[in-house]
């Protein structure tokens, strides 16, 4: 089979911009599709990318289509609508989905893609926009190893860790479990910070002792950097997405008949923050939501 030369990218957002930038730097031809924010798209066009007017047009121009959108309903719309990816798909084209998606939806879209003569693999991401820009993301893959081998040079353009997890959908299941571990850790860290702030505990002292012991974690350090150092580049992940990821994980757990009380509690914390108007804010602001509870109205 011919090597991948032309790549299409749908979803040039916080993570997608870095993906697209590094794909261009490695010499691949890139076609992009604008969504809500033109700034990253315009930057990629300035670096040599071409803009498509629809998902169908992008798919028709690509050997590989990378999707990196917010959730499964968004991806299903991009794939299935009249001018969607499936409408423009050429036989042999590969779709690699970086969305943190619902595994059942992934499996259904893979079947629809196969019926059109294409190939669908799941390639969800780990780490942050900082690593996306640096080309050092982690990627979990699900699907045919032969297809994944064909697109590996493209993945290597923006990732330094690639783990094959199994058949289509397996990558998304591992991603959801990874996010359960991270987001549950973030939830309990936020609660500890809230108690510390209201209980008169020195947060710097708390960080120093946690850093030196078994309670330390990447998530703790990101939240500490955000709240103690004012580093707003840490954990640029919307609360609405955190809640969605845990909801998808709870659905997987329910299908496996496994009780997940801790995941459910973390999900409810983020749901609470969203109900308070924090949905578009980043995960660290859950602390602000907690601290505002019980305050007397002005």
Could you read off the pLDDT of 182-224 as tens digits, one per residue? Answer: 999 999 999 999 999 999 999 999 999 999 999 999 999 999 9
Q: Are residues 102 and 185 in the same domain?
A: no
The last residue of one of the domains, among 133, 167, 201, is 167
Residue 139 · residue 162 · CB < 8 Å: yes
Could you tell me if 26 and 111 lie in one domain?
yes
d(CA 78, CA 85): 6
30 is written with which tokens? 């890139």
At 91-101, the pLDDT tens digits run: 999 999 999 99
User: Is the same domain home to 197 and 162?
Assistant: no
Distance in Å from the first CA to the final CA of the chain: 67
Q: Would you call 175 a catalytic residue per the annotation? A: yes
> Which phi and psi angles does 11 have, rounded to 5°?
115, 60
The active-site residue out of 175, 198, 232, 244 is 175
Q: Where are the beta strands (DSSP E) in the chain?
A: 6-10, 29-33, 50-52, 64-67, 94-97, 119-122, 125-126, 137-142, 159-166
Residue 295 has pLDDT above 80, yes or no: no
**Number of compact structural domains in the chain:** 2
Domain of 256 in residue numbering reads as 173-292
User: Of 13, 217, 225, which is closest to residue 100 (Cα–Cα)?
Assistant: 13
Verify that 149 and 279 share a domain, yes or no: no
pTM strictly above 0.75: yes
């Amino acid at each position: 089979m011919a090597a991948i030369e032309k790549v299409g990218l749908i979803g040039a957002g916080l993570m997608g911009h870095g993906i697209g930038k590094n794909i261009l730097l490695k010499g691949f031809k890139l076609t992009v599709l604008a969504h809500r924010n033109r700034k990253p798209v315009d930057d990629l066009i300035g670096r040599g990318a071409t803009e498509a007017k629809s998902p169908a047009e992008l798919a028709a121009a690509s050997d590989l289509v990378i999707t990196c959108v917010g959730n499964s309903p968004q991806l299903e719309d991009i794939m299935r609508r009249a001018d969607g990816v499936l409408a423009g798909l050429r036989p042999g084209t590969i779709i690699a989905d970086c969305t943190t998606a619902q595994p059942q939806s992934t499996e259904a879209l893979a079947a629809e893609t196969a019926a059109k003569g294409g190939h669908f693999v799941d390639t969800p991401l780990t780490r942050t926009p900082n690593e996306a820009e640096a080309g050092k993301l982690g990627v979990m893959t699900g699907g045919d190893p032969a297809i994944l081998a064909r697109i590996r040079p493209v993945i290597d353009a923006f990732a330094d860790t690639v783990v094959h997890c199994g058949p289509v959908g397996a990558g998304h299941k591992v991603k959801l479990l990874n996010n359960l571990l991270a987001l549950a850790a973030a939830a309990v860290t936020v609660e500890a910070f809230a108690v510390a702030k209201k209980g008169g505990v020195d947060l710097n002292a708390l960080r120093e002792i946690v850093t030196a012991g078994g309670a330390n974690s990447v998530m703790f350090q990101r939240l500490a950097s955000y709240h103690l150092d004012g580093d707003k580049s840490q954990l640029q992940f919307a609360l609405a997405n955190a809640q969605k990821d845990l909801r998808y994980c709870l659905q997987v757990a329910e299908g496996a008949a496994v009780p997940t009380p801790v995941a459910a509690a973390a999900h409810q914390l983020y749901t609470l923050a969203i109900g308070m108007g924090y949905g578009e804010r980043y995960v660290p602001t859950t602390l602000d939501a907690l601290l505002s509870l019980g305050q007397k109205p002005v």
